[in-house]
Amino acid sequence: MTGTSATDAPTSSGAAGNSAASRDKAYFLHPYTNLHLHETQGPLIVERGDGVRVYDDGGKEYIEGLASLWCVSLGWGEERLVEAATRQMRKLPTYHVFGHKSHEPGIDLAERLIKLAPVPMSKVFFANSGSEANDTVIKLIWYYNNALGRPEKKKILSRVKAYHGVTVATASLTGLPNNHRDFDLPIARILHADCPHHYHFAEPGETEEDFATRLAESLEAQILAEGPDTIAAMFAEPVMGAGGVIVPPATYFPKIQAVLKKYDILLVADEVICGFGRTGNFWGSQTMGMQPDILSCAKQLSSGYLPISAVMVSEKIYQACVDESKKIGTFGHGYTYSAHPVAAAVAIETLKIYEERDTVGHVRAVAPLFQRRLKALADHPLVGEARGVGLIGAIELVADKATKAPFEPVGRAGATLNALAQENGLILRAMGDSVALCPPLVIGEEDINTMFDRLAAALDAAVPVLRG
């Protein structure tokens, strides 16, 4: 395949030694990549996109089954977003919002988000990525409790297998071992509660509702052991994304929230993946019955066309920040590109398109087919569980369906299927031995069927590789 050769043979990108692939290996440090393997394998060079498809530098077509890291909701080639960016570039290509400065795109976007919030919110703070948004939330939580005279109430709960970012603080919240190993993480004051994955962690015969009750009881025990006066907040994704697309068990969030409310612990909804229609409602919080005090979002906010993220805070948190900034003389936090006018303009146009085209309605219309095709894969001999909601899902590969034992070494099966799917014209993402699907929200039924046909063919091809 062009762009993936282990050698520097000529490709459509250029001559040997000067191809895009060879220059990539020479100069580019890639995130979330096996750097040693990359030195020989090299990259897939993606050259262009159209709708739900992307094309490599050899012209090969792929359905982008992960919407380019969970974010390209409107697909590639949405001219309205290009035009919105172009108009803003000509009018005010950049400006900051420090020191009482502002601009119309930032104001407009903040107003729209507050009106769209799943629960009453007061103000919006803008950043550039989900990691930055969640890092901001951590600082706001600490600032808030200092403002209230509670200097000991600073510990923050996350969950095993959660994903909240990769900054020093948010990678600490992330409950995945490879985000901690040899980065000297997690930092202090970060705790991890139980993972709400019924398939792996429920006791034999335990219903989803009983499992949720047990998780709530375990959370309360953890809070009491740490001391309720030391715990400030809990972060939670409505559906856990990079941890394997883990859908919480029935009644989970109402039971968890009752515990948090009892001990005056804030709930932070990380809507970076779930927001803007992914789960069949505009917010994942609505799908899962969450009532957050703070909400972070990114990715589909601009359909991934430009980097932008947002944090929405409730009135009580905003007022505490006002009081503390009055005492100090400033609210000493912000980014040069907070509410960047071009990114904000693209986000505004994205929100307009969602409304005008009833994107959530479209998701609800096609999600039953997506989920039906997804759940049917549970019958495949390699698949232990098929799980999902709306237009997001995952399959987990196991060596033994009865015992749920993984293939050894862990991660080999996921990587194998991921590679075979790519060969078959489907881009997915392997997370250990779970492989995720999260296509653009604009995908239609024909492309959903094509996507699952390609995945099924890759699964069949994986059988002799993994069992041979």
Q: How confident is the model at residue 468 (pLDDT cuts 50, 70, 90)?
A: confident
Q: What is the pLDDT of residues 171-202, one digit of tens each?
A: 999 999 999 999 999 999 999 999 999 999 99
Q: Under a CB-based contact definition with an 8 Å cutoff, are residues 439 and 363 in contact?
A: no
Mean pLDDT across the chain, nearest whole number? 95
CATH code for the part of the protein at 80-356 = 3.40.640.10
Pairing type for strands 426-427 and 309-313 reads unpaired
Q: In percent, how much of the chain has pLDDT > 90?
A: 96
Q: Give the pLDDT confidence score for residue 401 in this predicted structure.
A: 97
Q: Under a CB-based contact definition with an 8 Å cutoff, are residues 156 and 232 in contact?
A: yes
Structure tokens at 406: 């993984």
pLDDT surpasses 80 at 10 = no
Question: Distance from first CA to last CA of the chain, Å, rounded?
Answer: 24
Please name the residue that has the structure tokens 């400065």: 101
Pairing type for strands 429-431 and 434-437 reads antiparallel
Q: Domain ranges in the chain? A: 44-76+359-467, 80-356
User: Where does residue 38 rank: exposed (0-12), middle (13-18), buried (19+ CB within 10 A)?
Assistant: middle
Q: What is the pLDDT of residues 123-136, one digit of tens each?
A: 999 999 999 999 99
Distance (Å) of CA 453 to CA 3, 242, 418, 424, 441? 25, 24, 14, 10, 19
Among 51, 62, 8, residue whose Cα is nearest residue 443: 51
Q: What is the pLDDT of residues 33-51, one digit of tens each?
A: 999 999 999 999 999 999 9
The CATH class for the domain spanning 44-76+359-467 reads alpha beta
For 322, residues 6+ apart whose C-beta sits below 8 A from its C-beta are none
Q: Under a CB-based contact definition with an 8 Å cutoff, are residues 398 and 383 in contact?
A: yes
Q: Give the pLDDT confidence score for residue 18 in this predicted structure.
A: 84
Q: Half-sphere exposure of residue 153, counting CA atoms within 13 Å on the CB side?
A: 19
Q: How confident is the model at residue 246 (pLDDT cuts 50, 70, 90)?
A: very high
pLDDT surpasses 80 at 13 = no
Helix axes 130-147, 315-328, angle to 10 degrees: 70
Q: Give the pLDDT confidence score for residue 312 in this predicted structure.
A: 98
Q: Give the pLDDT confidence score for residue 38 in this predicted structure.
A: 95
Helix or strand or coil: residue 76? strand
**Residue 35: count of CB within 10 angstroms of its CB:** 8
pLDDT surpasses 70 at 213 = yes
Q: Give the pLDDT confidence score for residue 3 in this predicted structure.
A: 43
Among 76, 2, 90, 109, residue whose Cα is nearest residue 45: 2
